[in-house]
Every structure is written in C-alpha cells, then in structure tokens.
Amino acid sequence: MPAAPPLIGTYSVPAVRRGEVVTCLYRDRDCTVTTLSAARIPWPRVQPRGEQGGSGLWVNADLVRAIRTESATALKHWFGVSTGVVWKWRKAFGVGGRATTKGSTRAIRAAAERGGAAVKAKEWTDEELGRRAALSKRLGLRPPPRWTPGRGGWTKKELALLGTDHDEAIAKKIGRTRGAVTSKRVQRKIPAFSGWPGSAPAWT
C-alpha cells in the first residue's frame, strides 16, 4: 500500500455545529453547516443559505491555508475531495501550475528523487547499454560513459572473479544477478566454473 502523502501543516476540525451559520470564503457568502465529512480529516460540509444544492466543504481560513500550501494529492487524500474540486479551489485563490505550493514542490522533488534512484539502481545489461548507445548515435547525441561502476559497469576486481566460482556464487558476492554474471562471462569467453582445478571438465 502506498504511503499517505505528507502534509506540511496541521489542521484541526473546526468547532462548529450542525445548523450553525458560517461564512464560506470560497462561495463568498453565508452558509449553513449540514454535516461532517467522512474524510481522513473530517471537515464541516455547508450549503449556501436559501439554496437546495451546491453543498460542499466549508472553506474557512484554515482550509484556504491548506489550499495555498499543500499538494493536490495531499488535499485529495486527507480532505476527501476530487481533482476537479482542488482545481476550482486553486483557481479561486490564485494558485496556478503544478509546483506553486510548497507541498506540490516537495511532492514533485520526492517523485524525481525516487525515479532517479530507480534508474541508478537498475542493472543495465550489455545489450541494453548497446541499444542506448546506438540510439544516442542515431540522434546525434553524445552518450555518457557506459562502463563506469557508477553506471552499472564492471570493475577490474569483479571481472577477475568471473569463472572462479559458480555464476550464482559470484553474483551474490558482487551484488549482481546470475544472468548478468553469466552474460558477462560468456561475452569474455571465460569457461564456466566446474569445481575442478583449472576449470577442467567435471565428470559426467
């Protein structure tokens, strides 16, 4: 289950009662409190006085602060509203774009960091690196260094281990997959480890 989007501020349930008349800053008029929402942060729902429809969350000073501070994802998750409602709120209170609130900026930065970490952690095979290099060449781009350890390349120490033990054991020792070890060993024409001195053929 994904983690709940974090909030920057803290928000307490307003101390109002059903039937109480309050001023809604979003509707810019007096409204009557009708009920309490079932969101993760319960919030009073209101209805404009003299109208039958158009009910929604009471936008008071605290909720305006949330609208101007939190990410859209956090607003939807904690206050139980839709994307359309968040968009209307932001438009009404002069909040535009994706990263115009502190919460949105933080959420976008966190997503970018997670994506960067995933790319960095990916173990690129020789075939994948070759395809990327070919694409860069076709597009006229200069590809970054392919074989550095920081980009998934093999160190001299890792290469020296190939064929000295079973591929699975080597993989565990250097933190790579068995398939990557086998692929690199075959590419370098190193015979598989047989358990015999000098890697001589094992008995059949």
Instruction: Grade residue 201 by pLDDT with cuts at 50, 70 and 90.
Output: low
- Residue 12 above 60 pLDDT? yes
Q: What is the mean pLDDT of residues 115-141?
A: 64
**pLDDT tens string 22-66:** 999 999 999 999 999 999 999 999 999 988 777 899 999 999 999
pLDDT attached to residue 175:
87
**Mean pLDDT for the chain?**
80
Q: 188-197 pLDDT, tens per residue? A: 889 988 776 5
pLDDT more than 70, % of the chain: 71
Task: Round to whole Å and give the CA distance between 38 and 188.
Answer: 63
Read off φ and ψ for residue 35, nearest 5 degrees.
Answer: -165, -175
Q: For residue range 143-183, what is the model confidence (pLDDT) as tens digits?
A: 555 555 555 678 888 999 998 999 999 999 888 888 888 98
Q: Work out the average pLDDT over 93-115.
A: 63
Distance CA 195, CA 159 (A): 19
Model pLDDT, residue 156: 87
